[in-house]
């Protein structure tokens, strides 16, 4: 479950020729007929929503197509603190609201027994003080940070110390981070870990070693495909590997920009969240090819999604925020024109399989919750419909809605009506839980969690939801047409 903490931060084709003009005349007529046909076809697609569904749907489509795209990558780069330091120095940037980051440069050595990283220096004038840091990106949230292992960053005189002799020497920098905290929840794994790891390490161009504090085998198995795109080297288990690892430079802690996104102005090459998504593409491509090959060898039949748009329903497992009439929703989506796939991810579901389903979809539907993090697996301009239960408006938009727009998705936040919530029958229309959810949320996280997250299911008003499906279908068809026309003209 996502932990709701309202942290507000401001921040060349060969041409043919013929004599006498005969060939030119014949070809010109063919080209004219082809263009005339394509123009007519284009008009049919553009105007069909008007004739079939009326003006209101066409207006919705027009507004839908102008929703914001991903963040611009033309902003000037702003170098973070401690990005340039001299040898024999420890520099800590504690100005961030979300995380602390320390950089050590020189003779850096690990000592896991004392939860320490030593910086050996021969300078007798070195007045660098020792530092302490918890390398996790929820600095403001005391309750979880209390569970994260703290590291000691200590300067030692190399002339007077004979301890911590190097067992393993690395000729590339290190990045230290924790996979403790809320790790185990897919939202936090990406928001607090994987994306910050990309932000912090991308400029090393894979020439970096990741040293993990509170290492878990399952984490490496789950995210190894992504990590391999960020580093060319094996992971180091800080606590499990008692050897002394030596580096010329170390970054302790991860930089984080915002919820599930990348701020291009804070990236060395102005990378955006789309560049992170490219990392996912590269990371999962080989495994997806293997999955396709396995299906071919075992004669597994896959649905052909070329003729109809594909809609994925991300179904929740468990007893809360489920779509009670999910089967009827499937039937309505199929009636609208979609091929429907229902995906129910388990903790053990291979990420590459989820990625493949999402990456080949035209529309994704899901109820607000951590699983919505999988919108990162959608291609830009894919439709993402987030069903927003009562009392979850702020969290739904902050954690998933706004980040989805930055990725370039066509985002629709479907806020359910009171009667679409299971709470309506339980409490009645006049209860503050129904009438004024903000008043309950103002009482604190425990109220939000118990009532709106753990105690609520959704029964969609399908007559109301039909318009959203129609809008999404029309957009998907129009998008496909726009993508196909240039290819047909070239052919």
Confidence bin at 204 (pLDDT 50/70/90): very high
Angle at Cα 484 formed by Cα 478 and Cα 485, nearest 5°? Answer: 90
Question: Which of 118, 199, 113, 121 is closest to 149 using CA atoms?
Answer: 113
pLDDT of res. 129: 80
Please check whether residue 258 is in contact with residue 191, taking contact to mean a CB–CB distance below 8 angstroms.
no
109-122 average pLDDT score: 94
> Bridge-partner residues for 177, per DSSP?
212
Is residue 103 classed exposed, middle or buried when 0-12, 13-18 and 19+ CB atoms within 10 A define those classes? buried
- Where is mean pLDDT largest: 81-95, 131-145, 153-167? 131-145
SS3 of 387, please? strand
Q: pLDDT tens-digit profile of 444-477? A: 989 999 999 999 999 999 999 999 999 999 999 9
Q: Which residues contact 303 (CB under 8 A, 6 or more apart)?
A: 310, 339, 341
Residue 436 has pLDDT above 90, yes or no: yes
Whether the predicted pLDDT of 327 surpasses 80:
yes
The per-residue pLDDT for 70 is: 42
- Please tell me the predicted confidence (pLDDT) of residue 344: 93
- pLDDT for 480: 86
DSSP E strand boundaries for 36-185: 89-93, 101-111, 116-121, 131-133, 151-157, 168-169, 174-178
Centre a 10 Å sphere on the Cβ of residue 80 and count the other Cβ atoms it contains.
17
Show the tokens assigned to 209.
């070693």
Instruction: Please say if the pLDDT value at position 56 is more than 80.
Output: no
Q: Which residues pair with 157 in a beta bridge?
A: 121
CA torsion 274→276→281→284, rounded to 10°? Answer: -160
Average pLDDT of the residues in 370-380: 97
List the beta strands (DSSP E) in 129-220.
131-133, 151-157, 168-169, 174-178, 209-213
**Tokens coding 90:** 């420890």
Flag whether pLDDT at 2 surpasses 90.
no
* Radius of gyration of the chain measured on its C-alpha atoms: 27
For residues 373 and 396, the answer to whether their CB atoms sit within 8 Å is no
Q: How far apart (Å, rounded) are the C-alpha atoms in residues 178 and 193?
A: 8
**Looking at per-residue confidence, does 1 or 173 come out higher?**
173
Per-residue pLDDT at 76: 74
Q: Give the distance between the most distant pair of CA atoms in the chain.
A: 95
pLDDT of residue 9: 41
Backbone CA torsion sign across 303, 221, 380, 285: negative
Question: pLDDT at position 146, please?
Answer: 97
Question: Is residue 439 scored above 50 in pLDDT?
Answer: yes
Q: pLDDT-derived band of residue 307, with 50, 70 and 90 as boundaries?
A: confident
Calculate the alpha carbon distances from 197 to 26, 73, 136, 371 in Å. Answer: 60, 19, 11, 20
Report the mean per-residue pLDDT for the chain: 85
Report the candidate in 295, 326, 297, 321 with the shortest Cα–Cα distance to residue 311.
Answer: 326
- How many Å apart are CA 198 and CA 191, to the nearest integer? 11
Residue 367: DSSP 8-state: E
Distance CA 438, CA 213 (A): 38
User: Is residue 64's pLDDT more than 70?
Assistant: no
Annotate 260-315 with DSSP letters as a single string: TB--GGGSTT---HHHHHHHHHHHHHHHHHHHHHHHHHTTPPPP--SSS-EEEEEP
- At residue 11, the pLDDT reads 38
Collapsed DSSP state (helix, strand, coil) of residue 5: coil
pTM, two decimal places: 0.84
- CA–CA dist 135, 130 (Å, integer): 16
pLDDT for 215-247, tens place per residue? Answer: 999 999 999 999 999 999 999 999 999 999 999
Tokens of 165: 């002799």
């Amino acid at each position: 479950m996502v932990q709701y903490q309202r942290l507000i931060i401001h921040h060349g084709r060969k041409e043919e020729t013929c004599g006498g003009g005969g060939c030119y005349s014949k070809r010109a007529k063919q080209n004219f007929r082809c263009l005339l046909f394509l123009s007519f076809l284009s008009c049919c697609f553009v105007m069909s929503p008007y004739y079939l569904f009326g003006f209101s749907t066409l207006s919705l489509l027009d507004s839908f197509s102008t929703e914001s795209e991903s963040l611009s990558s033309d902003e000037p780069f702003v170098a973070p603190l401690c990005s340039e330091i001299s040898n024999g120095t420890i520099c800590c940037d504690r100005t961030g609201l979300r995380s602390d980051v320390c950089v050590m440069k020189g003779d850096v050595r690990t000592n896991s027994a004392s939860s320490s990283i030593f910086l050996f220096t021969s300078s007798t004038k070195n007045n660098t003080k020792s530092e302490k840091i918890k390398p996790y990106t929820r600095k403001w949230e005391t309750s979880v940070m209390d569970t994260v292992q703290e590291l000691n960053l200590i300067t030692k005189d190399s002339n007077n110390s004979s301890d911590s002799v190097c067992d393993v020497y690395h000729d590339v920098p290190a990045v230290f981070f924790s996979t403790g905290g809320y790790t185990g929840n897919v939202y936090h794994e990406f928001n607090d870990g994987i994306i910050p790891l990309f932000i912090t390490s991308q400029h090393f161009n894979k020439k970096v070693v990741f040293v993990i504090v509170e290492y878990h085998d399952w984490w490496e198995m789950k995210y190894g495909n992504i990590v391999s795109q960020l580093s060319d080297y094996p992971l180091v288990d800080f606590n499990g590997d008692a050897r002394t690892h030596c580096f010329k430079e170390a970054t302790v802690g991860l930089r984080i920009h915002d919820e599930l996104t990348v701020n291009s102005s804070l990236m060395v090459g102005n990378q955006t969240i789309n560049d992170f998504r490219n990392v996912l593409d590269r990371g999962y491509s080989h495994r997806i090819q293997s999955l396709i090959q396995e299906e071919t060898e075992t004669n597994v039949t896959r649905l052909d999604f070329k003729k109809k748009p594909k809609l994925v329903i991300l179904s929740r497992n468990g007893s809360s925020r489920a779509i009670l009439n999910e089967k009827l929703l499937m039937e309505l989506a199929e009636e609208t024109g979609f091929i429907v796939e229902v995906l129910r991810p388990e903790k053990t579901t291979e990420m590459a399989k989820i990625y493949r389903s999402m990456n080949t979809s035209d529309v994704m539907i899901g109820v607000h919750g951590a699983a919505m993090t999988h919108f990162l697996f959608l291609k830009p301009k894919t439709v993402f419909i987030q069903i927003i239960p009562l009392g979850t408006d702020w969290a739904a938009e902050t954690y998933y809605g706004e980040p989805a727009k930055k990725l370039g998705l066509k985002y629709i936040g479907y806020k359910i009506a009171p009667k679409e919530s299971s709470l309506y029958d339980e409490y009645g229309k006049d209860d503050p839980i129904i009438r004024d959810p903000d008043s309950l949320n103002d009482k604190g996280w425990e109220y939000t969690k118990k009532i709106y997250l753990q105690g609520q299911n959704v029964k969609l008003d399908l007559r109301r939801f039909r318009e959203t499906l129609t809008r999404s279908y029309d957009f998907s068809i129009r998008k496909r047409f726009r993508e196909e026309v240039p290819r047909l003209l070239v052919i």
